Amino acid sequence: MSSSPRPPDVGGEPARGYLLDNARAEAGERFAWLAELFDGVTRGHFDRLGVGAGSRCWEVGAGGPSIPAALAAAVGPSGHVLATDIDPSWLTAGGGYEVRRHDVTADPPPEPGTFDLVHARLVLVHLPERSRALATMAAALRPGGWLLVEDADTALQPLACLDDSGPAQRRANRLRDAVRELLTRRGADLRFGRTLPRALRAAGLVEVAATGSFPVGGTACNRLEAATVRHVRGELLAAGLADDAEIDAHLAAIDAGELDLTLAPLISAWGRRPAAG
C-alpha cells in the first residue's frame, strides 16, 4: 500500500507547502482514520449549528469524502454542498456534493455571501497564510451563517504517549517531536488551536465559542500514527531527525499494540457572520 519515500530536497532548497500532501497513498489512509476519530465530534457541531434540509455548506480542505458525504446527507436534495481542496483527488464525483479544486489561501471565495455553514478541519494549522484563508471563508458566509473551524493545538498536548512508561513510549514521543519539527519548518502554527476564538472575532464574527477533545488509545490512533510516520519517513531521514532503525522499531511497536497513542487536542471553534441590518 505504501509508495516509495519522498526524495530528499534537491539542491539544498528547503521543501515548501503542505507536508502531508494528498499525492501519496498514506494520505487516503490518514483521511479514513481521521474520519473514525473526529467525524462524530464534527457532525455533532453541524447538528448544533442547525445544518439540515436545504442548507448550503462549503467544506474547505475536505481531504477525504466522509464529511462532504455527511453534509450531503444532512442537507438533502434541496441543499447544496461544495467540497474543495488544493488536491481534490480523494473526493468522489457523484457523491451528492460538488467537487472543486480551490486554494483557500489564494483563490477568491466561491459564491460569496451565500453559505449557511463553512467548515475546515485540520487545514488552517498547516497554512502560513491562515488569516487570509479565514477572511476568504468568512466572506463566503451569508449574514447569520456559521463558520466552524477545527484545528489541532499540538503544543497544548505534545505527547504521542501520555503514559511515558518505557523505551517504546519514549521513542514514540521523540518521533512525535520530530514530525512536529517538520511541520513547523513548513510553516505550521502548532499553537493555532488556542487562538481560534480570537481569530474568529478578528474576522468579524459574533457569538464565538469553542470546545476541545482528543482520543487516547485504540486502533484508529495506532493506524493514523503508522500512516503519518510512513508518509513523512523520507522527510524525517533527509532532515536527520530520525533513522531507519528508530522508525522501524516504532512501527513494530504500533503493530504489537504496545503503545496507547494519543493526539493533540482538536479545538473546534465557531462564530457567525452578523445578521444584515
CB 258 within 8 A of CB 204: no
Question: Cβ of residue 77: shortest distance to ligand SAM, in angstroms?
Answer: 25
Question: Cβ of residue 119: shortest distance to ligand SAM, in angstroms?
Answer: 8
Question: Cβ of residue 95: shortest distance to ligand SAM, in angstroms?
Answer: 15
Give the residue, chosen from 36, 43, 105, 194, that forms a contact with ligand SAM under the rule CB under 6 A.
Answer: 105
Buried b (16+ CB within 10 A) or exposed e, 248-277: ebbbebbeeebbbbbbbbbbbbbbbbeeee
Q: Where are the alpha helices (DSSP H) in the chain?
A: 25-48, 66-75, 130-139, 167-185, 192-202, 219-238, 244-255
Cell of 194: 488556542
Give the residue, chosen from 36, 87, 246, 258, that forms a contact with ligand SAM under the rule CB under 6 A.
Answer: 87
> Between residues 168 and 215, which has the closer beta carbon with respect to ligand SAM?
215
For residues 81 and 66, give the distance between their C-alpha atoms in angstroms, rounded to a whole number.
Answer: 12
Q: Are strands 80-85 and 56-60 parallel, antiparallel or unpaired?
A: parallel
* Binding to ligand SAM in span 111-140, by CB under 6 A: 121-123, 126-127
* Binding to ligand SAM in span 195-224, by CB under 6 A: none
> Between residues 127 and 232, which has the closer beta carbon with respect to ligand SAM?
127
| Candidates 57-65, 69-77, 156-164, 244-252; binding stretch for ligand SAM (CB under 6 A) | 57-65
Question: Cβ of residue 162: shortest distance to ligand SAM, in angstroms?
Answer: 22
CB 50 within 8 A of CB 68: no
Query: Applying CB under 6 A, does 55 fall inside the site for ligand SAM?
Result: no
CB 85 within 8 A of CB 102: yes
Give the residue at shortest CB distance from ligand SAM. Answer: 63
Cell of 73: 446527507
Give the residue, chosen from 26, 29, 33, 34, that forms a contact with ligand SAM under the rule CB under 6 A.
Answer: 34
For residues 209 and 200, give the distance between their C-alpha atoms in angstroms, rounded to a whole number.
Answer: 9
For residues 80 and 62, give the distance between their C-alpha atoms in angstroms, rounded to a whole number.
Answer: 15
Query: Applying CB under 6 A, does 85 fall inside the site for ligand SAM?
Result: yes
> Between residues 31 and 115, which has the closer beta carbon with respect to ligand SAM?
31
Query: Applying CB under 6 A, does 31 fall inside the site for ligand SAM?
Result: yes
Would you tell me which residues interact with ligand SAM (CB under 6 A)? 18, 20, 22, 31, 34, 61-64, 85-87, 103-105, 121-123, 126-127
